[in-house]
Amino acid sequence: MTQSTHDRIHSLVQQNKIMVFMKGNKLMPQCGFSNNVVQILNTLGVPYETVDVLDDSEIRQGIKEYSSWPTIPQVYINGEFLGGSDILIELYQKGELQQMVEVALAS
């Protein structure tokens, strides 16, 4: 990954309390896993931003290196990598995601 791609990703992650790198966007997810993430965050009713990795091949590859995580979507809360769809579903079902989001938005 180039330094400029790393810097772009880092900036997006740091500037947004909840950042999702996904296929598609929050209005039109382009895969089932991305849709799962959007549905959970919409259910929580929290503000979040998305980056469509299908629009930018450098970001699509770079985000995998940035997080050392091979799959998309990727969710960041308060600058920290949380995980993908399966992890978000698990945290949501346990009731832990709501608390994490509330803490992030309050900070």
pLDDT tens for residues 1-34? 999 999 999 999 999 999 999 999 999 999 999 9
> What's this model's pTM, rounded to 2 decimal places?
0.96
pLDDT tens for residues 60-99? 999 999 999 999 999 999 999 999 999 999 999 999 999 9
Nearest-angstrom CA–CA distance, 77 and 16: 8
Q: How do the domains of the chain map onto residue ranges?
A: 3-106
Contact present, 40 and 90 (Cβ < 8 Å): no
Contact present, 86 and 97 (Cβ < 8 Å): no
pLDDT-derived band at 107, boundaries 50, 70, 90: confident
- Strands 18-22, 49-52: parallel, antiparallel or unpaired by DSSP? parallel
Beta-bridge mates of residue 50: 20
CATH superfamily of 3-106: Glutaredoxin (3.40.30.10)
Place of tokens 């940035």: 66
